């Protein structure tokens, strides 16, 4: 899926170099930059720490293994409504781009 997300933005996906790069570590110095962007663009939340939980994102996306989930049992039990993850991302990106 990451390749498809990179493609949506017309970017080349970065190859996996064999080690995890925590987002929290990568963005530890970015709060002032975000505050400047928020002020310049009139955004509602200038505090990056309130806007995103980087350690939570790292927990969700930084696993060193592939995570395979199966919704078959849920659908057999009647939970048939869903929105495909990639569609949810692309819909959100399109909305953010339009805004």
pLDDT band at 67, cuts 50/70/90?
Answer: low
The encoded tokens of residue 14 equal 């970065």
Distance CA 91, CA 63 (A): 25
The encoded tokens of residue 78 equal 């009647």
Domain ranges of the chain: 2-11+20-98
Nearest to 27 by CA among 54, 59, 62: 54
**DSSP H helices in the chain:** 2-8, 23-26, 31-41, 48-51, 54-61, 72-76, 85-98
pLDDT tens digit sequence for 9-42: 999 988 878 888 888 888 999 999 999 999 999 9
The model's pTM is 0.56
């Amino acid at each position: 899926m990451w390749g498809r997300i990179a493609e949506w933005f017309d970017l080349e996906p970065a190859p996996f170099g064999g080690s995890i790069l925590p987002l929290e570590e990568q963005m530890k110095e970015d709060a002032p930059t975000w505050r400047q962007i928020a002020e310049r663009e009139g955004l509602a939340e200038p505090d990056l720490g309130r806007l995103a939980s980087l350690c939570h994102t790292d927990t969700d996306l930084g696993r060193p293994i592939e995570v395979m989930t199966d919704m078959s049992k849920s659908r057999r039990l009647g939970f048939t409504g869903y929105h495909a993850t990639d569609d949810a991302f692309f819909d959100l990106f399109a909305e953010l781009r339009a805004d």
